[in-house]
């Protein structure tokens, strides 16, 4: 038997999967989480109210994120990104790697290009 997911964990994981894959079927979600497609349907209904999640019915049907939507796009302010970039040369390699990962996950595209050029 797989992991027992709480409702919040399952919904967060659905969004993480949609962010990376952009689309998935309800039956695949149900199998992955070990729940019914009805349960996934309730999750999708909930997520649709707070995120641009779309449901495509019929042949080739799926759950998907609206084109161009990114959950974590530009969560860090410009100032926060600048400070993190400034401290990279001052911290150890492991810490710098984590900071770069955070900037890639939560920073803007221009800042990501800057950190890609940094040597740790």
Q: Residue 84: pLDDT above 80?
A: yes
For residues 26-43, average pLDDT: 96
Confidence of residue 83 (pLDDT cuts 50, 70, 90): very high
- Residues in contact with 102: Cβ distance below 8 Å, sequence separation at least 6, in sequence order: 76, 84
pLDDT at 120: 60
Confidence of residue 115 (pLDDT cuts 50, 70, 90): confident
**Model's pTM, two decimal places?**
0.59
Pick the CATH number of 7-65 from 3.40.50.720, 1.10.10.10, 3.90.550.10, 3.30.160.620: 1.10.10.10
Encoding tokens for residue 107?
A: 């920073």
pLDDT at 119: 64
Q: Which alpha helices (H) appear in the chain, and where do they start and end?
A: 7-21, 26-33, 37-50, 78-87, 93-106, 109-116
| Domain boundary assignment for the chain | 7-65, 78-116
Say how many residues make up the chain. Answer: 120
Q: What distances in angstroms separate CA 85 from CA 32, 68, 89, 98, one per listed residue?
A: 38, 26, 8, 12
């Amino acid at each position: 038997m797989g992991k027992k997911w709480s409702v919040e964990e399952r919904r967060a994981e659905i969004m993480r999967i949609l962010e990376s894959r952009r689309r998935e079927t309800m039956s695949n979600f149900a199998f992955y989480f070990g729940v019914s497609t009805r349960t996934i349907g309730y999750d999708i209904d909930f997520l649709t109210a707070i995120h641009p999640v779309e449901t495509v019915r019929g042949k080739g049907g799926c759950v998907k994120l609206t084109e161009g939507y990114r959950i974590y796009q530009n969560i860090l302010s410009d100032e926060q990104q600048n400070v993190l970039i400034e401290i990279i040369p001052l911290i150890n390699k492991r810490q710098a790697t984590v900071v770069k990962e955070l900037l890639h996950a939560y920073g803007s595209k221009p800042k990501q290009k800057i950190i890609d050029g940094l040597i740790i």
